[in-house]
């Protein structure tokens, strides 16, 4: 099955004038936003040479985006797209990483792409931070950037981003003026975390909700955090589990993603359980839980999720050692919160069995009894 690189090889010689801009094109723009571009306005055909090759220290995720740029620079469809107004800010004191770029498309539309997090554990921590804090500094920066991009351009706007970038695109669209909102045609979120309840209930979000196009892979985790647009599309991936967050693994047929009817059962359980758990837990507890969890993951020495999953027994041993340094009150809270999570998850398992297999009541009672005993 094909991915975005195959799409460029097959579709690259067809201009936007003959085949309209589509969801796969939007993913490509979201992926290119992971690169650092020079200032000014430069067409992609030239950026293929101006953006230097990445060093060996760069993570695979960004290397793939660099290869994507090289491939796009050789195509009729993308070579003439002009990239302008790049912004990249890393502020460790404010715990903020933000980057965005605007692309001038051949049909007069402007695509505002927000950079997401990568597949590092640090990047995943940033996604989970949204479970207890909003707006985060990057969200404020996204609103500011969208206002600037709108002031510097005329014509329709498309917004998009992968991972945190998808969240930033929707958040920014919901918080700009009605005048800017009127120019926005569509907002693309590729496995991006959802928004806080206050934003989802706001008039700004309601005004743009129908223009959101949300895509998640079969085993999505990040894209199901917090409140999310209910009309998401599930995309087939050739990766396993958490690694499906890498959209280079998403499958494409023609000018569209390969769609599947629903999330994997495991992802459905995570979806239902996380949302019920978040409803029970106070923001301060979420914060302590998330920070402690990712401190423990980083204590394993792994820097990416792929590394973490590569040596599970060894990483688990490192986590157990690191747990000895957690203070009693925090450890007690974590055990309590995990107990709630397991309890909710067990309830959801029973409900899924009830819905899918339609077992008789004696089977349900047996499962409930085993679950109660385990607790």
Say yes or no: 277 and 368 in one domain.
Answer: yes
Of 61-70, 280-289, 326-335, give the range with the top mean pLDDT.
61-70
Say yes or no: 229 and 277 in one domain.
Answer: no
Say yes or no: 123 and 211 in one domain.
Answer: yes
Of 26-35, 222-231, 290-299, 326-335, give the range with the top mean pLDDT.
26-35
pLDDT digits (tens, 9 = 90+) for 279-309: 777 888 878 888 888 888 888 888 777 777 7
CATH no. for residue 185?
3.40.50
pLDDT cut 70: percent of the chain above it: 82
Which two three-digit tokens encode residue 147? 């206002």
Last residue of a domain, one of 227, 245, 263: 263
pLDDT digits (tens, 9 = 90+) for 159-186: 999 989 999 999 999 999 999 999 999 9
Which two three-digit tokens encode residue 188? 């693309």
Which two three-digit tokens encode residue 31? 């992926």
Say yes or no: 283 and 310 in one domain.
Answer: yes
pLDDT band for position 324 (50/70/90)?
confident
Say yes or no: 259 and 162 in one domain.
Answer: yes
Say yes or no: 249 and 273 in one domain.
Answer: no
Domain of residue 345: give its range. Answer: 269-374
Say yes or no: 252 and 273 in one domain.
Answer: no
Say yes or no: 182 and 278 in one domain.
Answer: no
Q: Please say if the pLDDT value at position 60 is more than 80.
A: no
Say yes or no: 231 and 327 in one domain.
Answer: no
- In sequence order, which residues have a C-beta less than 8 Å from that of residue 16 and are 6 or more positions away? 25, 77, 105, 106, 107
State the total domains in the chain.
Answer: 2
Say yes or no: 276 and 252 in one domain.
Answer: no
Last residue of a domain, one of 207, 242, 263: 263
Say yes or no: 273 and 259 in one domain.
Answer: no
Report the distance separating Cα 157 and Cα 107, nearest Å. Answer: 11
Report the distance separating Cα 259 and Cα 256, nearest Å. Answer: 8
The pLDDT value recorded for residue 55 is: 62
Among the listed residues 52, 24, 26, 22, the one whose alpha carbon sits nearest the alpha carbon of residue 37: 52
Last residue of a domain, one of 234, 263, 292: 263
Say yes or no: 224 and 90 in one domain.
Answer: yes
pLDDT digits (tens, 9 = 90+) for 96-131: 788 999 999 999 999 999 999 866 777 677 777 776
Summarize the confidence of residues 179-207 as an average pLDDT.
93
């Amino acid at each position: 099955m094909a991915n975005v690189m195959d799409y460029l090889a097959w579709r690259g010689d067809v201009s936007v004038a003959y085949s309209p801009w589509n969801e796969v094109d939007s993913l490509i723009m979201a992926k290119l936003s992971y690169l650092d571009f020079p200032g000014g306005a430069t067409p992609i055909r030239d950026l293929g040479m101006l953006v230097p090759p990445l060093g060996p220290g760069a993570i695979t995720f960004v290397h793939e985006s660099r290869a994507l740029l090289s491939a796009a620079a050789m195509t009729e469809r993308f070579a003439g797209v002009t990239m302008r107004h790049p912004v990249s800010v890393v502020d460790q004191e404010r715990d903020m990483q933000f980057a965005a770029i605007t692309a001038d498309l051949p049909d007069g539309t402007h695509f505002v792409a927000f950079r997401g997090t990568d597949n590092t554990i640090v990047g995943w921590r940033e996604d989970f931070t949204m479970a207890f804090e909003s707006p985060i500094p990057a969200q404020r920066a996204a609103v500011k950037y969208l206002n600037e991009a709108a002031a510097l351009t005329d014509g329709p706007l498309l917004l998009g981003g992968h991972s945190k970038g998808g969240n930033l695109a929707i958040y920014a669209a919901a918080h700009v003026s009605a005048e800017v909102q009127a120019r926005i045609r569509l907002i693309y979120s590729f496995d991006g975390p959802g928004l806080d309840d206050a934003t989802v209930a706001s008039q700004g979000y309601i005004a743009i909700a129908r223009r959101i196009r949300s895509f998640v892979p079969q085993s999505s985790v990040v894209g199901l955090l917090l409140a999310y647009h209910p009309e998401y599309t599930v995309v087939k991936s050739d990766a396993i589990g958490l690694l499906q967050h890498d959209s280079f693994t998403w499958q494409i047929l023609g000018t569209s993603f390969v769609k599947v009817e629903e999330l994997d059962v495991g992802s459905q359980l995570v979806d239902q359980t996380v949302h019920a758990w978040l409803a029970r837990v106070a923001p301060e507890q979420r914060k302590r839980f998330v920070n402690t969890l990712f401190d423990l993951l980083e204590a394993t020495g792994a820097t990416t999720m792929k590394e973490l999953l590569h040596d599970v027994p060894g990483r688990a041993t490192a986590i157990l050692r690191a747990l000895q340094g957690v203070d009693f009150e925090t450890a007690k809270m974590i055990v309590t919160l995990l107990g709630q999570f397991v309890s909710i998850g067990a309830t959801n398992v029973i409900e899924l069995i009830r819905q899918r297999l339609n077992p008789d009541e004696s089977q349900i009672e047996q499962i409930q009894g085993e679950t109660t005993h385990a607790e």
